[in-house]
Amino acid sequence: MSELVNISEVFGKNVFNESVMRERLPKNVFKKLKQTIENGKELDPSIADVVAHAMKDWAIERGATHYTHWFQPLTGITAEKHDSFISAPGQDGKVIMEFSGKELIKGEADASSFPSGGLRATFEARGYTAWDCTSPAFLREDAIGVTLCIPTAFCSYKGEALDEKTPLLRSMQAIDKQAVRILRLFGNTTSSRVTPSVGAEQEYFLVDREKYLKRKDLIYTGRTLFGAMPPKGQELDDHYYGAIRERIGSFMNEVNRELWKLGVTAKTQHNEAAPAQHELAPIYAQANLAVDHNQMIMETLKKVAGRHGMTCLLHEKPFAGVNGSGKHNNWSLTTDDGINLLNPGDTPHENVQFLLVLACILKAVDVHADLLRESASDVGNDSRLGGNEAPPAIISVFLGDQLEDVINQLCDTGEATHSKQGGTLKTGVAMLPDLDQDVTDRNRTSPFAFTNNKFEFRMVGSSDSVAPSNVVLNTIVAEAFQEAADELEKAEDFQIAVHDMIKRLFMEHRRIIFNGNGYSKAWVEEAARRGLPNITCMVDAIPALVTEKAVKLFENFQVYTRAELESRAEVEYDSYSKIIHIEALTMTNIAGKQIIPAIIRYTTRLADSIGKVSSVCPEADISVQKDLLLEASARLAEIKTSHSKLVVLQEELKGIKDAKERALACRHRLVPAMEELRRPVDSLERIVDKDLWPMPSYGDLLFEV
């Protein structure tokens, strides 16, 4: 039995949160800081020293020796550089611990080796990290000791964003401003801010550490590059929501405790569809905090897995043919006085404000489907999206029966007069209570689904940051709100104008609504008829970042400049090629050094057997050995051919200088060549002796955790 925990005692223990600040900061300083945090006011630099001092004392009392500006460069993960609190020794030889306001607010990272996509040449190495006081500082406890982590944004010498957080904060300002305009139109004078709320559900795999270490592909690329399907996969669905085993249970217990200490509201945990796959979801929080928390969740999962003799795989598709992992980004808009703009109420047909918000979101998603799709692309997700387990690569919106019916009434008759209501679910068992039935069933195949009072964007990859998706969501909806507010603020009769606008927007953007089965072939054809984009891979998604439409959108809201967008596209092409090259190199290494030698041992064993059997017993039937030898030799020849082809191809592609061209060549030439090498290897894995096969199988990895 593991240690008992009292959640309320541990929760937020390692966070420099509001109650700690109230206790430790002078009243006027606390007030000023709170204003910055809550109202987005600029931080008063004169209070920084006082805050830094209090933060340092608090951290040191809890054993901290170092502090770090914790930031999120364009690698999808976090980065940090640690400094100890030690400054020069004092007169008496005792060490002085210092941490000034300047060190809190601004850090300088020689960040020339972070991706910048040409925004900064290597000789212009200066990059700055700036404190994001809306996300509280926290203490991380691990083998290094205790470190004070200060969430920061990361910019170049000239102020261009080099990270995920800066544009996210900019996009939050944009949607705040435009959403408040919409509220004012409906006579709301009391709400002063609107913030996107985000809850990111995280899927992951756990594998045994020792087995993991025997797989070079997992070590270098985070996914298996070879591997035949085990006799049993997920077809019985006996893992999904299954009872959690002891080893996993004790891992989850520790993950929760670590996260609670960091103020992350880890809430639900369950086994997922694939064997060895699990999910963790926190309670939703304001978008930038939720993005930070998701990074902490990923870090904690990895760290704690190691302590339990396991490795956590965050890759989108660690095992071909087995369900992959994603991240559901739940998103809604909340006012500072607690109103959720996406709450339809019991009778949505009468809720005009909700219908306008909904119509604007539909328009945003329809007009900028390409950007949303781009925000969810990473290399791993290419093996998942559209693969009958994850959302299709086509963006559509699921609204459910009730809302679709309201929209149909509006579009068909110009008037919505009623809302479908949920019934009562009869269990048919006298002892069980009858349950209220939700008005709408769930749809698991939609990439963008309305669920109760939020939208769930289900396309994001499990290893990716959720920041880019929220940047896009916030900005595209801000644009739709802006266009609506511009028109409605000028209207002579608001009621008539808003009614007409809602109807018009639904009519114009209805094509994006789809309540059916997103996994079906019929939908792919239907979507093409509707003119919806079907972008099947990352390299085809990236151009969406730099269309004139995107530049206009992001420049209008000062979320990205054209140069920042171009640099991001460049970074993505480049990282795509790098990742594919690493995978290809890992494959040729494994094939050359482990698989080919193993097959040679196998064929030698067969040949020895044929020789020995026929000399001892010339009349014995040795056709099985011969068949196997023929088959193995034929596959071996195929492996050698594909292996050589892959080696040559890699060299050839290295010569391509243009980032986009190289990425396209990787996608269209290297990826198919990798698949060609994999095929004969996987088919041999099914026949070669287990003791000769040089690495653990899918079955070993998935069923023996």
Distance CA 256, CA 265 (A): 9
Closest CA to 667 of 590, 572, 603: 572
Choose one: 66-74, 202-210, 281-289, 462-470; the region binding ligand ADP (CB under 6 A).
281-289
What is residue 437's three-state secondary structure? coil
Tokens of 60: 């040191």
Q: Check binding of 283 to ligand ADP (CB under 6 A).
A: yes
Site string for ligand ADP, 241-270 (x = CB under 6 A): ---------------------------x--
Among 197, 462, 463, 475, binds ligand ADP (CB under 6 A): 197
Which residue, 326 or 696, is less far from ligand ADP as judged by CB?
A: 326
Beta bridge mates, 76: none
Among 16, 284, 573, 693, binds ligand ADP (CB under 6 A): 284
Helix 467-489 × helix 287-307 angle, to 10°: 170
Please report how close the Cβ of residue 442 comes to Mg ion at its closest, in angstroms. 9
Closest CA to 64 of 135, 115, 139, 5: 139
Among 135, 325, 332, 575, binds ligand ADP (CB under 6 A): 332
Please report how close the Cβ of residue 330 comes to Mg ion at its closest, in angstroms. 6
Put residue 53 in one of left, alpha, beta given phi > 0 → left and psi -120 to 50 → alpha.
Answer: alpha
Tokens of 291: 């993005």
> From the list ligand ADP, Mg ion, none, which binds 272 (C-beta under 5 to 8 Å, kind-based)?
none
First to last CA, the chain: 19
Choose one: 131-139, 146-154, 278-286, 687-695; the region binding ligand ADP (CB under 6 A).
278-286
Q: What residue type is 440 in one-letter code?
A: T
Q: Check binding of 202 to ligand ADP (CB under 6 A).
A: no
Q: Check binding of 327 to ligand ADP (CB under 6 A).
A: no
Which residue, 264 or 584, is less far from ligand ADP as judged by CB?
A: 264
Where does residue 588 rank: exposed (0-12), middle (13-18), buried (19+ CB within 10 A)?
A: buried
- Total residues contacting Mg ion by CB under 5 A comes to 1
- Total residues contacting ligand ADP by CB under 6 A comes to 17
Q: What phi and psi values does residue 200 have, to the nearest 5 degrees?
A: -105, 115
Distance CA 524, CA 517 (A): 10
Decide the pairing of beta strands 397-398 and 277-282.
unpaired
Quote the strand ranges of 158-209, DSSP E: 194-208
Residues comprising the chain, all counted: 705
**How many CB atoms neighbour CB 475 within 10 A?**
27
> From the list ligand ADP, Mg ion, none, which binds 650 (C-beta under 5 to 8 Å, kind-based)?
none
Distance CA 296, CA 15 (A): 13
> From the list ligand ADP, Mg ion, none, which binds 381 (C-beta under 5 to 8 Å, kind-based)?
none
Q: Find tokens 């899918």 and name the residue.
A: 698
Decide the pairing of beta strands 397-398 and 448-451.
parallel
Q: What phi and psi values does residue 448 have, to the nearest 5 degrees?
A: -140, 95
Binding to ligand ADP in span 40-59, by CB under 6 A:
none
Please report how close the Cβ of residue 272 comes to ligand ADP at its closest, in angstroms. 13
Among 14, 129, 295, 330, binds ligand ADP (CB under 6 A): 330
Among 201, 208, 378, 570, binds ligand ADP (CB under 6 A): 201
> From the list ligand ADP, Mg ion, none, which binds 282 (C-beta under 5 to 8 Å, kind-based)?
ligand ADP
Secondary structure (DSSP) of 494-554: HHHHHHHHHHHHHHHHGGGB--S-TTSHHHHHHHHHHT--B--SHHHHGGGGGSHHHHHHH
Tell me if 197 sits within 8 A of 332, measured CB to CB.
yes
Site string for Mg ion, 328-357 (x = CB under 5 A): x-----------------------------
Q: Check binding of 199 to ligand ADP (CB under 6 A).
A: yes
Please report how close the Cβ of residue 264 comes to ligand ADP at its closest, in angstroms. 11
Q: Check binding of 445 to ligand ADP (CB under 6 A).
A: no
Binding to ligand ADP in span 451-510, by CB under 6 A:
451, 453-454, 456
Choose one: 326-334, 370-378, 382-390, 469-477; the region binding ligand ADP (CB under 6 A).
326-334
Which residue, 199 or 227, is less far from Mg ion as judged by CB?
A: 199
Please report how close the Cβ of residue 506 comes to ligand ADP at its closest, in angstroms. 23
Q: What residue type is 45 in one-letter code?
A: P
Decide the pairing of beta strands 397-398 and 327-335.
unpaired
Please report how close the Cβ of residue 459 comes to Mg ion at its closest, in angstroms. 13
Q: Check binding of 147 to ligand ADP (CB under 6 A).
A: no
Which residue, 199 or 275, is less far from Mg ion as judged by CB?
A: 199
Binding site for ligand ADP (CB under 6 A): 197-199, 201, 268, 281-284, 330-332, 340, 451, 453-454, 456
